[in-house]
Amino acid sequence: MSFPTTRLRRLRSKEILRNMVRETKVSMDDLIMPLFVCPGTNVRNPISSMPGNSQLSVDLLVEECKALVAKGVKSVLLFGIPESKDEHGHVACVADGIVQKAIRAIKAEIKDIIVVADVCNCEYTTHGHCGTIVDGDVHNDLTLETLAKQSVSLAEAGADIIAPSDMMDGRVGRIRQALDENNFYNIPIMAYSAKYASAFYGPFREAAESAPKFGNRSTYQMDTANSNEALREIEQDIEEGADIVMVKPALSYLDVIRRVKDTYNIPIAAYNVSGEFSMVKAAAANGWIDEERIIKEILTSIKRAGADIIITYHAPQMADILRKEQQLKGY
Ligand code: PBG
């Protein structure tokens, strides 16, 4: 049926109607906030390229988590800045590692929070690559061993979800095996399955002090031009036992999120990465955009594309935006 019988504007005429037929709603249940933990006490190092975000020592991190939970942010993703680094990332595999300490401290003080632990070597290696270097490149199968150790150690510290972001082949299977052997068969794996070699990670590498000292990550992260390959990555991770798959970054890859959604029946996470966040902040600081409307539109678009979970530095601000909306509606 077409015009004049069909008039799509009919359902746009009143706000209550528009709310009634809205297809996609972002909820605080969907969001995960990334946080950076560093050594020391009472340390708050603002990350200049990511306004509002800081490297926090464990004590302040716990306070930050309490504030987030009070706002309605229910889950955090932890990245560590260690005291010292080594060639293989062994510092990430020990009980008193920086993230392990942070998880124990959070879990000791906060009951209702999900702590996701990023698993990767790039923050912990002297060269800044995501694994062990042999002949100038990251050695896949040697790296699997440190990733498995790191994962078990993070689970022992109390991590609720293990999230490998290294892009080695076979790491989901290897980590699943290690977790199960250590009786952590109930800990889910959220795999960074389709992770692209993206320029949008720029600000994060300042935040996590994890920029590679030579070369780039193109021998392990995906070519930004590919989406068939993303489906192969996703399929392999599902076969190896991933519980949640991820597409990263989010905004330039909404088509990939949609293809994954249409092809597989598994929860999908999308990582709204640092560069995507910082571009919004920079434009807003210049008065060029309406920041709150842009944040809502961006997060809604990621969900509309098919993501169930969104990892985003906008999470606390989105909580404020949603609360304001509820108040305007009179709840
Ligand atoms: C570690 C890792 C990165 C991000 C998450 N985990 C950076 C990278 O691969 O260099 C990026 C997150 C962001 O940009 O917000 N491998």
Which CATH number is 25-329 given?
3.20.20.70
Q: Give dist(CA 315, CA 300) in Å, integer.
A: 13
pLDDT of 331 reads 67
CA–centroid distance, residue 326 to ligand 1 (Å): 34
| Annotated domain spans of the chain | 25-329
The verdict on the CB of residue 201 being under 6 Å from ligand 1 is: yes
Write the DSSP string, 158-201.
T-SEEEE-S--TTHHHHHHHHHHHTT-TTS-BEEEEEEB--GGG
| Tens of pLDDT, residues 267-307 | 999 999 999 999 999 999 999 999 999 999 999 999 999 99
pLDDT of 141 reads 95
E strand spans, the chain: 31-38, 44-46, 54-57, 75-80, 114-119, 133-134, 137-138, 161-164, 190-195, 244-248, 268-272, 309-312
- Mean residue pLDDT of the chain comes to 96
Q: Of ligand 1's atoms, which has the minimum distance to the CA of residue 34?
A: 15
pLDDT of 200 reads 98
Question: Which residue is closest in CA terms to ligand 1's atom 5?
Answer: 165
pLDDT of 329 reads 79
Active site residue 107: no
Which of 120, 147, 310, when mutated, tests ligand 1's pocket best, judged by the most ligand atoms within 8 Å of its CB? 120
Question: Which residue is closest in CA terms to ligand 1's atom 11?
Answer: 201
Which residues, given as ranges, of the chain have pLDDT below 70?
A: 331
Q: Give dist(CA 211, CA 128) in Å, integer.
A: 6
The verdict on the CB of residue 205 being under 6 Å from ligand 1 is: yes
**Which candidate in 101, 195, 296, 303 is catalytic?**
195
